[in-house]
Amino acid sequence: MKNTMKKAVTLFMAAAMATGMLAGCGSGGDKPKDNGESKQQTEDSDKLKIAFVPQLIGIPYFTAMEKGGQQAAEDLDVEFLYTGATQASATEQVKIMDSLIKQGVDAMSLSVLDSSSTNPYIEKAQEAGIHVYTSDSDAPDSTREFYVAQATDEALGRTLMDRLAAQIGEKGQIGIVSGESTATNLNTWISFIEKQQKEKYPNIEIVDIRYTQGGSSEQALKQAQELMTRYPDLKGIVAVASSTIPGAAQAVQQEGKAGKVKVIGYGSPATVKPFVEAGVMEESILWDAEELGYLTVWAGKMAAEGKEFEEVNEIEGISNPVTWDAENKILLLGEPLIITKDNVDDFDF
């Protein structure tokens, strides 16, 4: 993390919704713009346009990525287009991708929900001369140029399993509540959670994996309740998607099982803070989402300018060196971050 913490982000819902509008969709009013505005528009049109399509907007995690992307755009003198739907939907993602193709952006990145849906549009964008890459969630079976990764999927999955195992004494039943069943990143993390359990914790049993449409918190609450009812000896619940953490934590809280059923997941500090303070969660696994947003825009500018990544990249605006895996085409931000009661207040996303 940066030595000096960023200023708190306020009104994140309003900011995410406001910046989620597609660029170029002006008011269409009849009043003529003054020369200053016209000049600014001309200057902006000359800038490289770097777009990012998140899985959804309006949650602290992706709002933090947006903030980091906006800072990078300012530092690097490019235009940043951040646009997504209010619910996780592959159908909405491809609509947004199609719109960005028509706008003729220079580079487009996306956090993939369903690669079978988005892969054809990645190819369509590339045929239109747009550089396309993934960020936050990958589509390794696509023609994407590269993947901007927050941390390795293996490290994220195995780290979470290790932390939960320590909390429950390395034995007992646990359940998993995830987001969309097609989300590449979530499924990959789950696969490594399962591998770590099988290899290191024979006395832990993963009893069930539940999915929620659009990563709905309400559905996560219901799924967590059903898990605790069906498995009364349940020792832990893993909330894989950040948006499912509130529902899973609230279910445990409402059942009066805080501390008895451990809740852990991949959630931003702002998302998990109330549950950490209430004793429902001990830890969350994540990374610096603002820096991931910054790296996403930096990488898009590099691609649009035809520049290659170094094996190790020192980037102003990012705390630690960013590594490049040329074989797998992965630009790696760093190691997983463990969020606890001791550091949850140190972050603003």
- Going from N- to C-terminal start, the domains of the chain cover 12-150+288-334, 153-286
Q: What gap in Å lies between CA 37 and CA 55, rounded to an integer? A: 33
The pLDDT of residue 159 is 97
Q: Which amino acid is at 283?
A: E
User: Which superfamily does CATH assign the domain made up of 153-286 to?
Assistant: Response regulator (3.40.50.2300)
Q: What is the pLDDT of residue 23?
A: 34
pLDDT at 348: 79
Rounded Cα–Cα distance for residues 117 and 81 (Å): 21
Cα torsion 7, 340, 147, 112 to 10°: value is -90
The per-residue pLDDT for 44 is 57
| Predicted TM-score (pTM) of this structure | 0.75
Exposure of 328 in the CB half-sphere (CA atoms within 13 A): 15
In this prediction, residue 27 carries a pLDDT of 31
For the chain, which residues score pLDDT lower than 70?
1-45
Task: Decide if 12-150+288-334 and 153-286 have a common fold.
Answer: yes
CA of residue 337 relative to chain centroid, distance: 14
Residue 184: per-residue pLDDT: 87
Please check whether residue 261 is in contact with residue 235, taking contact to mean a CB–CB distance below 8 angstroms.
yes
Q: What are φ and ψ of residue 116, in 5° steps?
A: -65, -30
Q: What burial class does residue 274 get, using C-beta atoms within 10 Å of its C-beta: 0-12 exposed, 13-18 middle, 19+ buried?
A: middle
Q: Which CATH class is domain 12-150+288-334?
A: alpha beta
pLDDT of residue 46: 87
Q: What is the pLDDT of residue 257?
A: 97
User: Which residues contact residue 193 at a Cβ distance below 8 angstroms, ignoring those fewer than 6 apart?
Assistant: 157, 158, 160, 161, 176, 206, 238
